[in-house]
């Protein structure tokens, strides 16, 4: 600091309390300080000083004699420091120039120490020094106040943002509680997310996703993914379509260098088909939680979503047959990359060891939480950590109570096959797809969407959606592509089956599927008839339209294939085959409360 | 786990060799970006080689930084090769399937 600045230090009037039992010193000091422009109050001893202080706390400086009757200067200094809410300087004065007594004075909380007789230049310098500190103190308080304000505002903003995100993320979940999971964010916001939903045809979809980085920016990154996933999964689109759309959407909306590692899961309960697409996430596991064995691993086969351009993007799915007693486990990298205090990583090995451990708790979430706490010493929190545990028995098909058959008592007067007679009006539409367009067409969601549009709602609509989806899949797989269901009997055959399906679809030159639907108003209920025809040669039907081949009783109960037809037989009020089996038609009676019109 | 990140580079015969050490995460973004810009703007550089032998860890933000580098390099008609990734670093690159975007050499 340049010389002279000291004397030009900002002149500021202080409010000073002088405490001395010697009246001469007291008055001398007071008049000197008043000349300097300050206001001064006086006390004769410590006790009087404290009383004064209780009445008037606005002092900026205390000048205190050490040796006084009633209450001495050291005791007073201590008492003042204890009562003050902010820093106020104390100058001790004493006739004793001994080092020990000075140290003692500073120890109890005094800031300066002067010896008697008091040198006025030295006192002035001390007062100025305390002025400078006092003004720094005030600046600090102001800064601190604005920091506190800022902190509070940020906190309030964060709370709002978190609530907003939670609503978007978890409201869309439609309360599907089949899966259990933990999300343990590294900070206020999680860059991880799990979202699950079911399609009308009872397919279960789940996405476990981890956006680049942490906190709010990472959480925001997930928004476009949520919207796209929910919209498509709810309508029952294929996992391939969902994954492709997600990649396109994220690629368009995310800044470069931002992406989303994700595992997408589709479980079709009635066909026992499990599909997984893993882009950049740790392996997912299909385990037997009773035997504690790993049935199959699903490692990352692709880069994360939002990285590759459409042309380079690869939607290939891993599929497997599942059983109700299996459990699916998937996680984000925060789990396998959890670090111990000495820098070791939990790793996929750690997770696998936990999954197959015979000693562990049945509750995988609980066990993992404990294990990771132990592993990291409880202090880890570097990354968001998310684990999904999905016991497949939780997503077995939801079968709605069957309606009485049309010819059974209770629905009086409905003539067999005579719907048209009583219908006062209705919708009908026909739609078909042929050739290689079949490979990209989403015929079942389209038909189901149209049915919803024309007023099919409620539980009866859910039954119809399943039937439409199953009959169309059946028509494509067996009628058009001529695939052999027996392939699916072995678990590995499943993968092979779907590979074969994909490649035949791509090469398809002719053939197709044609759907006709009628939704008729029949007084206080509606009648739905949907016929699905394919270009195949059928399988032969009896004279009464009953199927000769895919009769439920002829199918081995454990076979995944044929389940589709059996399901339609159970869900629809009636299922008949025409054209030698290449047309399947189901009927469903829609009760009034289910229908919009 | 507390090893510091360091980055150095040499340019030789059209190839820029960037040597990365320690722990590469989001906090290194500005350091890396600065060096990256310096390397990309050298007209004589046609190949960029990232040596990961000394790298102990990288997180998803670091992967993002690498993707940005790759994009910029393409704009400058430069290629990016990742070399000597080992251990957990290699695993992370494998899980993210970075071989689809980069040349990865042992």
How do residues A356-373 score in pLDDT, each as one tens digit? 999 999 899 889 988 988
> Cβ distance A464 to A456 under 8 Å?
yes
Structure tokens at A403: 């309606």
- Res A414 pLDDT > 50: no
Q: What is the mean pLDDT of residues A92-111?
A: 82
The distance of Cα A181 from the centroid of its chain, to the nearest Å, equals: 10
Q: What is the mean pLDDT of residues A52-61?
A: 89
- The span from the CA of B96 to the CA of B52, in Å, is 16
H-state helical runs in A293-332 = none
- Residues of chain B positioned with their CB less than 8 A from the CB of A298: none
Look at the pTM and tell me if it is higher than 0.80: no
For residue A479, give the H/E element and its range: none
B63 touches chain A (CB under 8 A): yes
For residue A110, give the H/E element and its range: none
Helix (H, G, I), strand (E, B) or coil at A348: helix
End-to-end CA separation in angstroms for chain B: 24
Structure tokens at A184: 């343990």
Percent of chain B with pLDDT strictly greater than 70? 97
Beta strands B47-58; A112-115: pairing state = unpaired
* Model pLDDT, residue A209: 92
- Res A172 pLDDT > 70: no
> Considering only residues 186 to 215 of chain A, which have any Cβ-Cβ distance to chain B shorter than 8 Å?
210, 212-214
Interface test with B, best of A215, A221, A303, A311 (most B CBs within 10 A): A303
Contact: A282, B59; criterion CB under 8 Å? no
Please list, in sequence order, all residues whose beta carbon lies within 8 angstroms of the beta carbon of residue A290, skipping any fewer than 6 positions away: A325
- Residues of chain B positioned with their CB less than 8 A from the CB of A256: 64, 67-68, 71
Closest CA to A221 of A177, A184, A251: A251
> Cβ distance A587 to A573 under 8 Å?
yes
- The span from the CA of A536 to the CA of A511, in Å, is 8
- The span from the CA of A90 to the CA of A366, in Å, is 58
* Model pLDDT, residue A474: 87
Q: What is the mean pLDDT of residues A535-546?
A: 57
Task: Kindly compute the dihedral angle of the four CA atoms of residues A137, A139, A140, A146, in this order, to the nearest 10 degrees.
Answer: 150
How do residues A453-485 score in pLDDT, each as one tens digit? 888 887 788 888 888 988 998 889 888 888 877
Please list, in sequence order, all residues whose beta carbon lies within 8 angstroms of the beta carbon of residue A257, skipping any fewer than 6 positions away: A212, B64, B65, B67, B68
- The span from the CA of A77 to the CA of A92, in Å, is 9
Please list, in sequence order, all residues whose beta carbon lies within 8 angstroms of the beta carbon of residue A280, skipping any fewer than 6 positions away: A259, A261, A262, A300, A302, A303, A304, A305, A307, B95, B96, B97
Average pLDDT, chain A: 81
Inter-chain Cβ pairs, chain A and chain B, closer than 8 A: 60
Pick from A46-50, A261-265, A483-487, A520-524: least confident: A483-487
- Residues of chain A positioned with their CB less than 8 A from the CB of B60: 210, 212-213, 259, 261, 333
How do residues A199-222 score in pLDDT, each as one tens digit? 877 788 999 999 887 778 888 888
pLDDT-derived band at A430 (thresholds 50, 70, 90) equals: confident
Please list, in sequence order, all residues whose beta carbon lies within 8 angstroms of the beta carbon of residue A62, skipping any fewer than 6 positions away: A16, A17, A19, A49, A77, A80, A88, A89, A90, A91
Phi, psi of A444 (to 5 degrees): -60, -50
Q: What is the DSSP letter of A477?
A: I
> Cβ distance A65 to A39 under 8 Å?
no
pLDDT-derived band at A6 (thresholds 50, 70, 90) equals: very low
- The span from the CA of A288 to the CA of A498, in Å, is 24
* Model pLDDT, residue A76: 92
Q: Closest-CA residue in chain A for B72?
A: A256
Q: Is A530 left (phi over 0), alpha (psi -120 to 50) or beta?
A: beta
Q: Quote the minimal CA–CA distance from B56 to chain A in Å.
A: 10
Q: Closest-CA residue in chain A for B2?
A: A343
- Res A159 pLDDT > 90: no
- The span from the CA of A96 to the CA of A65, in Å, is 11
How do residues A554-565 score in pLDDT, each as one tens digit? 443 333 446 778
Q: Closest-CA residue in chain A for B64?
A: A257
């Amino acid at each position: 600091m340049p010389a002279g600045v000291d004397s030009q230090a900002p002149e500021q009037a202080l409010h000073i309390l002088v405490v001395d039992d010697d009246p001469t010193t007291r008055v001398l000091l007071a008049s000197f300080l008043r000349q300097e422009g300050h206001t001064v109050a006086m006390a004769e001893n410590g006790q009087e000083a404290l009383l004064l202080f209780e009445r008037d706390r606005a002092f900026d400086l205390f000048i205190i004699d050490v040796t006084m009757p009633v209450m001495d200067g050291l005791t007073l200094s201590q008492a003042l420091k204890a009562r003050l809410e902010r820093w106020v300087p104390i100058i001790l004065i004493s006739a004793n120039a001994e080092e020990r007594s000075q140290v003692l004075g500073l120890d109890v909380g005094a800031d300066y120490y002067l010896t008697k007789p008091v040198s006025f230049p030295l006192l002035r310098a001390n007062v100025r020094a305390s002025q400078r500190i006092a003004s720094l103190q005030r600046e600090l308080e102001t800064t601190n106040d604005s920091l506190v304000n800022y902190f509070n505002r940020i906190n309030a903003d964060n709370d709002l943002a978190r609530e907003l995100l939670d609503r978007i993320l978890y409201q869309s979940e439609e309360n599907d509680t089949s899966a259990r999971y933990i999300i343990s964010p590294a900070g206020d916001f999680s860059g991880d997310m799990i979202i699950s939903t079911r399609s009308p045809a009872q397919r279960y979809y789940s996405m476990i996703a981890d956006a680049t980085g942490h906190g709010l920016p990472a959480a925001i990154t997930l928004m476009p993914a949520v919207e796209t996933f929910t919209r498509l999964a709810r309508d029952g689109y294929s996992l391939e379509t969902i994954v492709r759309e997600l990649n396109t959407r994220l690629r368009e909306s995310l800044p470069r260098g931002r992406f989303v590692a994700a595992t997408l899961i589709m479980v079709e309960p009635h066909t026992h088909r499990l599909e997984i697409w893993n882009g950049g996430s740790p392996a997912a596991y299909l385990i037997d939680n009773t035997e504690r064995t790993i049935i199959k691993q699903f490692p990352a086969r692709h880069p994360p979503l939002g990285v590759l351009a459409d042309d380079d993007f690869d939607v290939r799915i891993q599929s497997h047959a599942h059983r109700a007693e299996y459990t699916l486990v998937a996680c984000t990298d925060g789990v396998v990359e959890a670090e111990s205090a000495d820098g070791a990583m939990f790793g996929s090995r750690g997770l696998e060891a936990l999954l197959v451990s015979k000693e562990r708790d049945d509750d995988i979430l609980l066990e993992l939480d404990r294990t990771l706490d132990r592993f990291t010493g409880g202090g880890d929190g570097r990354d968001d950590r998310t684990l999904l545990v999905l016991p497949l028995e939780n997503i077995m098909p939801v079968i709605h109570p069957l309606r009485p058959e049309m010819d059974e008592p209770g629905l009086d007067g409905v003539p067999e096959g005579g719907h048209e007679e009583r219908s006062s009006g209705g919708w009908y539409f026909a739609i078909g797809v042929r050739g290689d367009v079949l490979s990209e067409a989403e015929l079942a969601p389209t038909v189901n969407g149209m049915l919803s549009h024309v007023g099919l709602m409620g539980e009866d609509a859910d039954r119809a959606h399943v039937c439409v989806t199953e009959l169309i899949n059946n028509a494509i797989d067996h009628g058009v592509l001529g695939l052999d269901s027996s392939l699916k009997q072995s678990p590995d055959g499943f993968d092979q089956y779907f590979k074969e399906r994909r490649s035949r679809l791509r090469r398809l030159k002719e053939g197709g599927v044609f759907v006709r639907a009628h939704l008729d108003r029949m007084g206080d209920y509606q009648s739905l008839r949907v016929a699905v025809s394919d270009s195949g040669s059928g399988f032969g039907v009896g004279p009464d339209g009953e199927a000769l081949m895919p009769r439920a009783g002829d199918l081995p109960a454990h076979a995944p294939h044929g389940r589709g037809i059996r399901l339609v037989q159970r869900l629809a009020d009636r299922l008949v085959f025409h054209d030698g089996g290449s047309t399947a038609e189901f009927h469903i009676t829609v009760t009034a409360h289910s229908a919009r019109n | 786990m507390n090893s510091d990140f360091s980055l150095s580079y040499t340019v030789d015969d059209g190839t820029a060799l960037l040597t990365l050490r320690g722990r590469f995460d989001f906090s290194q973004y500005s350091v890396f970006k600065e060096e990256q810009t310096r390397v990309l703007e050298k007209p004589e550089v046609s190949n960029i080689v990232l040596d990961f032998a000394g790298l102990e860890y990288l997180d998803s933000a670091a992967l993002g930084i690498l993707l940005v580098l790759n994009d910029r390099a393409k704009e400058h008609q430069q290629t990016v090769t990742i070399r000597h990734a080992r251990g957990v670093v290699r695993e992370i690159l494998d899980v993210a399937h970075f071989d689809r975007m980069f040349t990865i050499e042992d």
